[in-house]
Chains A and B, each alone.
Chain A
Amino acid sequence: MIKVTLNINDFDRTLLVEPDENLLYTLRERLLLTGTKKGCDQASCGTCTVLMDKKPILSCITPTLRCEGKSIHTIESVAKNGKLHPIQDQLVKHGGLQCGFCTPGFVMTSIEFLEENKNPTESEIKEALSGNLCRCTGYKKIIEAVKAASEDMK
């Protein structure tokens, strides 16, 4: 096993990991941060999205060893002091989830997108979220929630 140091949700963590271990496994099984979900496990569904140096990436295809010295943010870091992030709040208000499995991925992708784009159009939101799949409800309410969150964040 190999030693690796990474910053997870603003805390430095030093861990021993296998050379072929992915970040998803490290988060869920070693650090018990199970908010990040394992969906397809092969880079197709987006549910394992986390932020690496503030950019959304897929933790299932990111070897943990490649994260040495990087900052990682997961869904557990999003609500602050018991207060939901505007995108979480609007997903709840719009009913933008049913089973909720894909939701952490959508939230993480949306956070970075809304930081970059303060005034998104519907088609820009669709393009930004195109790497996240939802198999319950469809995308209409999710897109509306992201739009509403962008208003809240002004």
Chain B
Amino acid sequence: MRYLRPKSIPELQEILMKENGNDYSILAGGTDLMPRYRTGLQLPEIAIDIKILPGYCGISEENGSIEIGALVTIEDIRKNHLIQKDLPCLSQACHEFAGTQIRNRATIGGNICNASPAGDLLPGLYLYSAELQLISAFGSRKLPIEDFILGPGKTALKPGEILVSIHLKNQFDNSRFYKLGLRQSMAISVINYAMGWSVVEKSISKLAIMAGSVAPTIVSLDGCCKSFLAMENDESIAENIAKDIFPIDDIRATAKYRQQVLKNLILHDLRKFPG
């Protein structure tokens, strides 16, 4: 393995141009790449370490929109008051994210670019309509997260392009994140979801649910939300949940279990709402 450590964005862009077509991996926190490397599963020929790049490691607010640098660690997001106040799903997901040692190294950019169907930050990022800022030697562009994540481990990143920041806006009065794992910590989610809602005159005016680990990418349970807002009964809400998800059997759970438990949890949540 060759190890490269650019000290500036232009230097990084030069490396990316030169290594275009070669087997490289970008190393941010390294908490996913390194265990895979240790167990001999995936060996990129070249590791490009971007952790010391200046910038991209802060959290700021402008005009009601929050910007998070791609190199911000999970622990920094967990402790950030702005995020606790305005983006509770992210804050909650960071509390349930692995353990302290991993949270100190893992980055939000890494969690997104990994594009795991079970990524714990992802449902919240979808709920808060995350827009991702990408740069390359040829310029920059912004993509909504649902256009960026294409499937397990697949993103819309072009060769030579990197993710530098995430822009978020919470359009809900309330939101929460829920994770079901086989144990409370250090566990990959069996299912997870983020739910956002607003209340007008004691009834739900707006509702969205983003579910993870039940399809190749995060899915928005639109049918279920519409069905709830139209005051349909539990059976048709459950049917609509089933229509939107495509769970699989894996080492953590069966598809059947995932489908049943997601229905149960969401119906349980919805019953607590007024109206």
Contact with B along A22-63 (1 / 0, CB 8 A): 100000000000000000011110100100000111101111
| A127 to B: closest C-beta gap in Å | 7
- Identify 11 new A-B residue pairs, CB closer than 8 A, beyond the known A42-B35, A42-B38, A43-B31: A41-B38, A42-B39, A43-B38, A46-B101, A62-B105, A63-B30, A65-B5, A113-B100, A128-B100, A130-B184, A131-B185
Partner of B102, one of A20, A41, A58, A127: A58
* B34 with A43: CB separation less than 8 A: yes
A-B contact pairs, 6 of them (CB 8 A): A41-B38, A44-B186, A56-B101, A127-B185, A130-B100, A131-B99
Using CB atoms, name the residue of chain A closest to B184. Answer: A130
Query: What's the dominant secondary structure at chain A's contact region?
Result: mixed
* B186 with A66: CB separation less than 8 A: no
| B2 to A: closest C-beta gap in Å | 7
A19 partner residues in chain B, CB cutoff 8 A? 1-3
A130 partner residues in chain B, CB cutoff 8 A? 99-100, 184-186
| A97 to B: closest C-beta gap in Å | 19
Count how many pairs of residues, one from A and one from B, have CB atoms less than 8 Å apart in the complex: 81
Instruction: Count chain A residues whose beta carbon lies closer than 8 angstroms to a beta carbon of B.
Output: 30
Interface residue range, chain B: 20 to 34
Instruction: Assess A131 versus B98: contact at CB under 8 Å? Given A57-B104, A61-B35.
Output: yes
Confirm or deny: B51 has a beta carbon within 8 angstroms of a beta carbon on chain A. yes
* A62 with B37: CB separation less than 8 A: no
| A26 to B: closest C-beta gap in Å | 14
Most interface-central of B51, B100, B184, B185 (chain A CB within 10 A):
B100
| A114 to B: closest C-beta gap in Å | 12
Q: Which residues of B1-53 have CB atoms within 8 Å of chain A's CB atoms?
A: 1-3, 5, 27, 30-31, 34-35, 37-39, 47, 49, 51
| A102 to B: closest C-beta gap in Å | 13
